[in-house]
Amino acid sequence: MLLEILGLLIKISLVVGITQGAVAYLILVERKIAAFAQDRVGPNRVGPLGLLQPIVDGVKMFLKEDVTPNYVNKPIFILAPFLTIVTAMIGFAVVPFGPVGPNGPVLMDGPIQFQIAPGIDIGILYIFAVGSLAVYGIILAGYASNNKYSFLGGIRSSAQLISYEIPMGMSILGMVLLVGSLDLNSIIEWQSKHVWGILVQPLGFFIFLICAFAETNRLPFDLPESEQELVGGFHTEYSSMKFGMFFLGEYLHVITVSYLVVILFFGGWDIPFVTDSAQTGWIFAMIKVAAMLGKVLLMIVFVMWIRWTLPRFRYDRLMELAWKRMIPLAIANMVVTATVLQLVRG
């Protein structure tokens, strides 16, 4: 029991530490991509190739004056960024970062599980439930700031996130019907034995990807922030590390969504003709972890590239896209998938 608790604490520490460091350097990557897209140089002064810039930015965030306006609702104002960062972090509990199961690499008495909480059969449902709580941080920040710009950002966010959660949840039902499970590991195993999800559920992937941009408040769906219209939206009144928590939460959501896209539609750790679920040992485990990480990094770069490619939607068009386009398409995809499976299996 003591070893299990120690192993769990080590996993949690590794995931928290690596994700925090990854966010710092993903910000640098995005600034470099933005510079390339806009024909600029980007950060290159602090350290070789600007690689120490994230450290300086982190120190600056801690040392900046933390201003709390007198007119805000202070308890809720302080709670909002903490709620955002917590909901962003706990989603990683069920994300498999590599092979999970009896065929994992052995250490001491049993196989290593590359997952904080293995054995949860409703992993995808857990992530959706936890992810839906993130909207509370934004809404409470907008409300507690007692600022019209912040309040408008909070209202926009509540409408946007609730609207796009519906087609996002429905878009994965095709894969769930094919696999017959809500377990993320089972979805990866099915793809390793059959075919990647994007080939059998291209429409589901397309819907999920669009909704993922909306759920993470990334351009062209950054209406809750929208600095040209709302100064900064829901985080206008925030400074120092309170603002940093919102920033960190957004990037953590991008990482989580990228993992979900890879797990659901790109085979997770699967590399055709190279890896399979029967392979054991540390070498194959590291190959699978590296494969998963490489796919996730490519997905994150794609998300960043889209930010500097597409313009922001008008708000009414944003809502029209969700209710008049995404939801009917998601329903149609689910019905067609269920019908085909019934005909094939019946």
Instruction: Average the pLDDT over 110-131 and give the result.
Output: 81
Instruction: Average the pLDDT over 272-296 and give the result.
Output: 85
pLDDT digits (tens, 9 = 90+) for 16-33: 888 888 888 898 998 899
Q: Is 221 helix (H, G, I), strand (E, B) or coil?
A: coil
pLDDT for 346 equals: 65
Neighbours of 174 (CB within 10 A): 28
pLDDT for 125 equals: 87
pLDDT for 1 equals: 64
Q: Which long-range contacts (CB under 8 A, 24 or more apart) does 299-303 make?
A: 299/258, 299/261, 299/262, 299/266, 300/26, 300/29, 300/254, 300/255, 300/258, 301/29, 301/33, 303/213, 303/216, 303/218, 303/254, 303/257, 303/258
Q: How are the residues of the chain apportioned to helix, strand and coil, as percentages rounded to the nearest 5?
A: 70, 0, 30
What b/e sequence results for 52-68 when a residue is b if at least 16 CB atoms lie within 10 Å of its CB, and e otherwise? ebbeebbeebeeeeeee
By residue count, the chain amounts to: 346
pLDDT for 159 equals: 85
Six-digit token string for 63: 């040392």
Contact 46, 56 (CB under 8 A): yes
How far apart, in whole angstroms, are the C-alpha atoms of residue 238 and residue 246? 9
Mean pLDDT of the chain: 86
Report which of 252, 241, 182 is spatially closest to residue 215, judged by C-alpha positions: 252
How far apart, in whole angstroms, are the C-alpha atoms of residue 7 and residue 326? 42
pLDDT digits (tens, 9 = 90+) for 180-198: 888 888 899 899 888 999 9
How far apart, in whole angstroms, are the C-alpha atoms of residue 54 and residue 61? 10
Min mean pLDDT across 74-78, 108-112, 159-163, 338-342 is at: 108-112
How far apart, in whole angstroms, are the C-alpha atoms of residue 54 and residue 27? 7
